[in-house]
Amino acid sequence: MTITIIVATDQHNGIGANNQLLWHLPADLKFFKQTTTGHTIIMGRKTYDSIGKPLPNRQSMVITKQPNLKIEGVQVFNAMADALAACDVEKEVFIIGGAEIYKLALPLANKIYLTKVEGIFNADVFFPEILTSEWKETEHTFYPKDEKNAFDFTLITLVRI
Ligand SMILES: NC(=O)c1ccc[n+]([C@@H]2O[C@H](COP(=O)([O-])OP(=O)(O)OC[C@H]3O[C@@H](n4cnc5c(N)ncnc54)[C@H](OP(=O)(O)O)[C@@H]3O)[C@@H](O)[C@H]2O)c1
């Protein structure tokens, strides 16, 4: 199974504040949608609450410690291992955050789609350190800011060495 993390961070690995994203970047959201559509996405309960609904055309899985949480249109699990065990081994599964779930998934992941946003934001949750000894960059595309996207960002693909 390919376990792929998809995340957007600032220059200090910040990913969110007050259970929201730190920026609105339609070009990055488009990449997220294109990349994850048709696949299973695994997220923490807080990220699910932040989004507020299952994302269309994807199988949503939510991880929680709550024993009886039920969410319509979503598969709920009490452990990352249980969610992964319910995924099709032939397919790529996407870990979409947030910080607690990225921490659980980083040691298991084979690939990372990292959007590195220029700037330092007032984050209260962070992506764990990516050790350069464990990951190799295979793609790198710069997106300059424009009238719809207020910040420069770079889309980076990392694969486990
Ligand atoms: N920039 C990005 O790419 C990106 C992507 C996604 C999210 N975010 C941001 O990240 C923030 C949310 O991240 P977060 O770290 O606060 O929350 P989170 O990782 O989305 O969810 C945390 C929840 O997951 C459950 N959980 C955590 N560890 C578990 C375990 N070992 N077993 C079972 N369940 C477990 C718990 O749910 P219960 O409390 O229900 O037990 C916990 O409260 C928001 O600001 C969001 O906007 C950013």
Q: What is the pLDDT at residue 42?
A: 98
Q: What angle do CA 133, 135, 137 make, to 5 degrees?
A: 120
Question: Which of 18, 63, 120, 156 for mutating ligand 1's site (highest number of atoms within 8 Å of CB)?
Answer: 63
Smallest CA separation from ligand 1 atom 13, residue: 98
Q: What is the mean pLDDT of the chain?
A: 98
* Span from the CA of 56 to the centroid of ligand 1 (angstroms): 20
Question: Which of 35, 42, 62, 65 for mutating ligand 1's site (highest number of atoms within 8 Å of CB)?
Answer: 65
Q: What is the pLDDT at residue 32?
A: 98
Q: Residues enclosing ligand 1, CB less than 6 A?
A: 7-8, 15-16, 19-21, 43-47, 50, 63-66, 78-79, 96-101, 104, 125
In a domain, 4, yes or no: no
Q: What is the pLDDT of residues 59-102, one digit of tens each?
A: 999 999 999 999 999 999 999 999 999 999 989 999 999 999 99
Domain range for 145 is 26-160
In a domain, 2, yes or no: no
In a domain, 47, yes or no: yes
Q: What is the pLDDT at residue 86?
A: 97
pTM above 0.95, yes or no: yes
62: domain CATH number? 3.40.430.10
In a domain, 7, yes or no: no
Q: What is the mean pLDDT of residues 47-68?
A: 98
Question: Looking at the 3D structure of the chain, how many domains does it have?
Answer: 1
In a domain, 58, yes or no: yes
Q: What is the pLDDT at residue 143?
A: 97
In a domain, 14, yes or no: no
Task: Provide the pLDDT confidence category of residue 121 given band limits of 50, 70 and 90.
Answer: very high
Q: What is the mean pLDDT of residues 107-124?
A: 98
Other C-beta atoms closer than 10 Å to the C-beta of 101 total 22
Q: How far apart are CA 129 and CA 157, in angstroms?
A: 16
In a domain, 135, yes or no: yes
Asked whether the beta carbons of 144 and 117 are under 8 A apart, the reply is no
Q: What is the pLDDT at residue 18?
A: 98
In a domain, 51, yes or no: yes
Q: How far apart are CA 125 and CA 108, in angstroms?
A: 20
Q: What is the pLDDT at residue 53?
A: 98
Task: Provide the pLDDT confidence category of residue 54 given band limits of 50, 70 and 90.
Answer: very high
Q: Work out the end-to-end distance of the chain between its first and last CA atoms, rounded to an integer number of angstroms.
A: 16
Specify the amino acid at residue 21.
Answer: L
Tokens standing for residue 92: 């790529």
* Span from the CA of 80 to the centroid of ligand 1 (angstroms): 12
